[in-house]
Structure 1
Amino acid sequence: MGHLLRNPSLLRPLLRPWSQGAASQAVALASPKGLAAAAAAAEDAEPMPFEALPGPRRWPLLGSLPAMLAHPAFDFERLPRLWSSYFKEFGPTFRLRLPGQGDLVYLSQPKDIERLMRATQENPVRPYLTSLEKVRQQTDFFKKNQTGILTEHGEEWWRVRRLVQTYSMKPKMVVQYLPQMDLVAKEFVVRIAGKRDDMNELPENFVDELFKWSLESVCLVTLNRRMGCLEGQPEGLKIIEASSKMFEAFASCEYGVHWWKFIPTPSFRDLKEAHDVMLGLAIDAVKRTQEALATRTDAEGDLNLVESLIMTPGLSFEDVVTHVLDFFLTATDTTSMTFIFTLYNLAQHPEAQAKLQEELDEVLGRDHTAPITPERLARLSYIKACVRESLRMFAIAGFVARKLQNDLVLDGYQVPNGTIIFGSQFESGKNAEAFPNPDQFKPERWLRGSKGDEGLTVKNQYASIPFSIGSRKCIGSRISQQEVFVLLSRLFQRYNVSYKYKPWDPVFKTILFPDQPPKFTVTER
C-alpha cells in the first residue's frame, strides 16, 4: 500500500472515471459558492445532516482512498495540494473516510475553526500522534495511560500539563533562557558565515546546520549543558538523526493508511526504533541532571528547566524523562523550519528586511557583542511580526485537530460526536476575508495600533493559530519563538540575505520542509 501511495498512477486509469464522476456529482449538488451561500443563509436554520457533507466518493472498506489515489493533485509528499483541490471542488468543508480512521472532516473557514476550538476548549482531545501513543504503550518504560502530554488526554494530560507549563509558557520564565539562546545564536552566525562559498552562498546542508543550532540551544536551556552539536559531537548528531527519522515515520503513519494499527508496518517499526534511541538519550540526560543537582548548592544560581521539573512535587522520573523526550522531538525540526521559512520570506522582500534592520539598529545597535536583554527583546516588534506572517503563509504544522466529544454544527452541517476534525491552517491562512491581500508578505498586519496598516488588519485571529490555542497550545511555543527571534536578530544585525533560485514548493513530512537546498546569499552589511 505504501508503494501505491507514492505511485498512484498505477491506479488512476482504473479509478479516475469513478472518482471524477463522484466529484462532479457532488459539485453539481453543491458548488463551493453554493455551499457558502447556503451556509450563510441557514446559519440559524435546521442543520443539514452529516451524510450531506460533500467529499470524494467512498468505497466499502477502502473509503475515500481510491479516489484520493486517482486524483491528479495527489502527491504523498505534498498532501496539502490535494486538500486544497478538494476545498476548490467541494467547498469550504469536506469529508473523507479512510481505513482505520473513520470519518474525517476538513475545515477551511476561520469562523468554523473558531467554533471548533471554542466548543472543545474544556476537553481538547487531539486525535493526532496516535502512532506515537501506540509505540509508548508497547514500551516498558511507560506506565499504563501515562505516555506524556503529546499523546494523553483528560485528567492524565492535565495532571502533567499543569505542572510543567510554568517553566516553558510563562514569559517571565522564558526570558530567563535568553543568555543561553543568545550565546548559541552568536556562535552559529559566526560558524555559518564561515561556511559560505566564494559566491557568498550558504552550504546546501544549511537545514542540517539549523538542526544543530536548535538542538544545541534547547539542550543548553533545558539541561544547562553543551551537547557539542555545532561541532558535530556524536550525542547531539544522534538526537538529530533520530528526530528526523521520527518525522519521516510520522508522516507515513499519521497521513497514510493506518495499517500499523493492525500490523507492524515498516514506517511503524522505523518510528519505534527512532523513539527508542531518543528515549535512551532522554533517560541518560535526566539521570545526569539528577546527579548534578545532588551536588548543587543554592549559591550556584537558579535551577535550569529539567532541574526545576525534577524538583516539582507530583512529577515522577518517568514524567520528567517523557517531557524532555517530547522537547527534543518537537523543538528541533519545528523551530528550524520556522526560522528558515521566515528567512526565505525576508530574503525575497528586501523592503521588509531593511525595515527589520532599521529596528535592530535602533534597539540593539551595530555592536553584535552587546547582549539581547528582555527589555530589548520586548521592543523587537517588527521581527516578531515577520515570524508571525511567515507562519501564516507557510503553515509549518498544517492543522489544528480535535476529536468531537459532543455533536457540533459546523458550516451548517450536524457533525456527530466522535468525528475527527482538521482545521486547515494552509487554507484559513490564505483566507482573503481574514487577511486582505493574503498572497502578500505583509508583517505590518500583525503590528498593534498605529504601527499596523489598517487595510491589512487581521479580521479573525483563528484564521492563523500555528501553535494552536487555549490549554492545548504548544507547550514549547514561547521558547521556540524566542530562539527564532534571537537568531534572526543576530543574523540581520550583521548581514544582508538574498535568494536568487526558483521559488520553493515545500514538501510535507508532518511539518513543512524546503523542497530544494536553501542556498541563501549572505553578505556583510
Structure 2
Amino acid sequence: MLSRYLLQRSLSATSMRRYATAAPQAQISETVSTADALENARPFSEIPGPSKYELIRGFMPGGEYSKITFTEATRIMQKKYGSIFHFPALFGKPEIIMDLNPLDYPIIFRNEGIWPERRSFETFVYHRTVHRPDVFQGVNGLITTGGEEWAKMRTAVNPVLMQPRNAKLYLNTLLEINNDFLERIRDIRDPKTLEVPADFHDDLNRLTLEGVTGVALNTRLGMIHKNRDAPETKILLKSIRNFFDYSEDLEVKPSIWKIVKTPKFYKLMDALDKLTDLCNKYIDEALKQIELDKDGKFTSEVGKEKSVLEKLLRIDRRIAVVMALDMMMAGVDTTSSTLVGILFCIAKNPDKQAKLFEELNRILPSKDSQPTIESMQNLPYLRACIKEGMRYYPIISGTMRRLPNDVVLSGYHIPAGTDISVSSNLLLRNENFVVEPNKFIPERWLRNDTEGKKYQLDNPFLFLPFGFGPRSCVGKRIVDLELEVTLARLVRNFVIEFNYSTENAFVPKLVLQPAIPLKFKFEERKA
C-alpha cells in the first residue's frame, strides 16, 4: 500500500507535463490522427518485417543475427524492410513496431497521454513480484510499473530528483569523489607514457557507483581507493555488468524464458539477487545513520546535503528504499559508458578540448579551484561538449511507447496498445537527419553561436538521451551534474589524449559498452 500522502494527492496532466525534458509542447504540431486519416491508412497487416520463422532462425546459432547485437540486427533489417517494420509476437512477447522515421515521433509523443505507457523489462518484473516479493512488498519502482501506480510514485520523487536546483545541492559530494578520482589517475598512469591501464573502464565504473551512492545514500563505499579490493565491491560491479548482458539476451533478443526457464534466466536472477542484497545492505547501513529529531524530521550529518534516501523517507519508506536501489543498479554502466564516449570525443578533437579548457580556465583559474553552483552555470561549452558526445556515442537505441489510441505512422494504421520502439538514437549519425554527423561539433548546441546554427538538429525528437516527457529518466539531473563535474575536473587538470583507433570502440548491447582498451593519456597541466 502506498502512503496516505500519495493516495491523497490529485494527479493532473499539468502536474505531470511540468517535468517534460525534451521539446516543448508548442513545437509539436497537432498530429492526433483523424477518423479520415485512419480510414485511408494502409492496414497494420501490411507493415513489412520478418516472419516468426525468419526471426527465430536469424538469431539461432548459424543464423544471420546470431553473432551480432540486437542493435546491429536492427540496422540490417532497416535496410531490408524500410524505416518502419514489425517483429511478430513470439514466445509470450507481444508484437513490436520498430520506427526509424523521425516524422512519426511527434505523432507518437503527442498521443502518449498523461500517463505514458511502455513495456517493462518482464524479467525485472518477475524478479520483484515473483522471485523476491519479500523485498519489494508491492512497491516495485518506476522501471517496472505503469499507469496510476507509476504516476503517483513519479509525482512523489520528481521534486527531489528532477528539479535542477535540488540536483545541484550534491555538487560538493561529487567534487569530493572526483578529487579522489584525480588522485587515482595520477597513481595508476604509466610514469613514462602517462597512459592509464587498459582496464580503465573499471575505474570509471567505480567513480560512477561511488557518485550514485554518495547522492542516493550520503555514503562513501571507498571503491576508488580504500575498499577497491573488497570482495563485495567486485561482486557488485560484476553483477551490474551481468544484469545488462543477460537482459539483452532475455528481453531484447528472442527468448523462451517465459515458457521454459533457461540457464541465462537463472543467471540473471542470480545477478539481480546479488545486486538487491548488496544494495539493501548499504541502504540499511545508511538508514541506521539517519536519526529522528524531536519534531519527527529526518536529519543528517551537519554540512552535508540530505541524501535522496533521506528526503524520500519523508514521503514513504518503501518508495525511498526502492528508488535508492534503482539508482545504484541503473546509474553505473549507463553513466560510465556515456563518459567514455565523451572522453573519446575530447581526446580525438584537441581543438575542441583547447576551447573547453579556455572556458574552464576563466571560471577555475587554477587546478585546485573548486567549481561552485554559481560558477557551474557559466560553462555553456562544457554542456555543449557533453551533449555532442552523447549524440556521437548514444548509449541506448531509443525509447518505447504503448499508445492509448490508434494512430497513423508512416502511412500505416497502428492500433492502440501496440508496442512502438522510437529508435531515434540510431539516426544520430545519419547524414539525412544530422549535418556533418561524423564530426564532433559542440557548437551545434550553442544557441547564440552563428557558425553552430547550420549544424543544429531540425527535429527535436532525434536527440533523446534521457527519453521524453513525464517518462524521461528520473536521474537525468544527477547524471548531468556528475558528467559536468567529472569532465570539468579532468580537462582542467589534464591534457587528454587517446593515441589509438576508436573504430568499433563500443559494442551496442542493451547499453553501449566499451570494446577496446581504454588507455587514455592524462598529461598534467602546468597550472
Query: Does TM, scored on the shorter chain, surpass 0.5?
Result: yes
User: Is 2:205 the partner of 1:211?
Assistant: yes
**Secondary structure of 1:496's aligned partner:** strand
How far apart are 1:500 and its partner, in Å? Answer: 2.2
Determine the structure 2 residue equivalent to 1:158: 151
Partners of 1:141 and 1:263 in 2: how far apart?
24
Partners of 2:371 and 2:276 in 1: how far apart?
34
Determine the structure 2 residue equivalent to 1:498: 497
How far apart are 1:79 and its partner, in Å? Answer: 2.5
CA contact (8 A) 1:47 1:412 kept: yes
Amino acid at match of 1:213: L
Amino acid at match of 1:169: M
How far apart are 1:401 and its partner, in Å? Answer: 0.8
Determine the structure 2 residue equivalent to 1:107: 99
Partners of 1:403 and 1:465 in 2: how far apart?
17
Determine the structure 1 residue equivalent to 2:323: 323
Determine the structure 1 residue equivalent to 2:308: 305
Determine the structure 1 residue equivalent to 2:475: 476
Partners of 1:68 and 1:238 in 2: how far apart?
30
Determine the structure 2 residue equivalent to 1:360: 360
1:244 equivalent among 222, 241, 246: 241
Partners of 1:503 and 1:154 in 2: how far apart?
42
Partners of 2:398 and 2:405 in 1: how far apart?
21
Partners of 2:301 and 2:322 in 1: how far apart?
29
Q: For residues 458 and 308 of structure 1, do their structure 2 counterparts lie closer, same or farther at Cα, with a shift above 3 Å needed? A: same
Partners of 1:104 and 1:90 in 2: how far apart?
14
Size of the aligned set, in residue pairs, is 477
Q: For residues 244 and 143 of structure 1, do their structure 2 counterparts lie closer, same or farther at Cα, with a shift above 3 Å needed? A: closer
Amino acid at match of 1:112: D
How far apart are 1:291 and its partner, in Å? Answer: 2.2
**Secondary structure of 2:356's aligned partner:** helix
Partners of 1:169 and 1:411 in 2: how far apart?
34
**Secondary structure of 2:86's aligned partner:** strand
How far apart are 1:278 and its partner, in Å? Answer: 1.9
Q: Deviations over 1:86-107 (max 9, x none)?
A: 2222221111225222322111
How far apart are 1:422 and its partner, in Å? Answer: 0.9
1:131 equivalent among 94, 98, 123: 123
Superposition CA RMSD, Å: 2.3
1:88 equivalent among 76, 79, 82: 79
How far apart are 1:504 and its partner, in Å? Answer: 3.4
Determine the structure 2 residue equivalent to 1:200: 194
User: Is 2:221 the partner of 1:227?
Assistant: yes
Determine the structure 2 residue equivalent to 1:34: none
Partners of 2:451 and 2:177 in 1: how far apart?
32
How far apart are 1:294 and its partner, in Å? Answer: 2.0
Determine the structure 1 residue equivalent to 2:420: 421
Partners of 1:211 and 1:299 in 2: how far apart?
27
How far apart are 1:299 and its partner, in Å? Answer: 8.6
Amino acid at match of 1:86: M
User: Is 2:383 the partner of 1:381?
Assistant: no
User: Is 2:252 the partner of 1:255?
Assistant: yes
1:19-58, aligned counterparts within 5 Å? 46-56=40-50, 58=51
User: Is 2:25 the partner of 1:65?
Assistant: no
Partners of 2:262 and 2:382 in 1: how far apart?
43
**Secondary structure of 2:331's aligned partner:** helix
Determine the structure 2 residue equivalent to 1:274: 271
Structure with the larger RCO, 1 or 2 (CA within 8 Å, 6+ apart): 2
How far apart are 1:48 and its partner, in Å? Answer: 0.9
**Secondary structure of 1:102's aligned partner:** coil
Segments of 5+ residues of structure 1 without an aligned counterpart are 1-41
**Secondary structure of 2:234's aligned partner:** helix
Bigger proportion of residues as helix:
1
**Secondary structure of 1:463's aligned partner:** coil
Moved more, 476-485 or 79-88: 79-88
**Secondary structure of 1:497's aligned partner:** strand
Segments of 5+ residues of structure 2 without an aligned counterpart are 1-35, 294-298
Q: For residues 417 and 68 of structure 1, do their structure 2 counterparts lie closer, same or farther at Cα, with a shift above 3 Å needed? A: farther
Q: For residues 362 and 451 of structure 1, do their structure 2 counterparts lie closer, same or farther at Cα, with a shift above 3 Å needed? A: farther
Q: TM-score, normalised by structure 1?
A: 0.85
Moved more, 125-134 or 173-182: 125-134
**Secondary structure of 1:519's aligned partner:** coil
Partners of 1:246 and 1:508 in 2: how far apart?
15
How far apart are 1:123 and its partner, in Å? Answer: 2.6
Partners of 1:330 and 1:299 in 2: how far apart?
26
Determine the structure 1 residue equivalent to 2:18: none
Partners of 1:459 and 1:107 in 2: how far apart?
18
Paired-residue identity, %: 28
**Secondary structure of 2:508's aligned partner:** strand
Partners of 1:71 and 1:407 in 2: how far apart?
39
How far apart are 1:71 and its partner, in Å? Answer: 9.6
1:178-197, aligned counterparts within 5 Å? 178-197=171-190
Determine the structure 1 residue equivalent to 2:520: 520
Amino acid at match of 1:210: L
Amino acid at match of 2:330: T
**Secondary structure of 1:163's aligned partner:** helix
Q: For residues 121 and 353 of structure 1, do their structure 2 counterparts lie closer, same or farther at Cα, with a shift above 3 Å needed? A: farther
How far apart are 1:372 and its partner, in Å? Answer: 0.9
Partners of 2:196 and 2:290 in 1: how far apart?
40
Amino acid at match of 2:57: P
How far apart are 1:67 and its partner, in Å? Answer: 4.3
How far apart are 1:508 and its partner, in Å? Answer: 2.6
Q: Deviations over 1:57-101 (max 9, x none)?
A: x14xx4632245599862554322221122222221111225222
How far apart are 1:44 and its partner, in Å? Answer: 9.3
Partners of 1:87 and 1:422 in 2: how far apart?
13
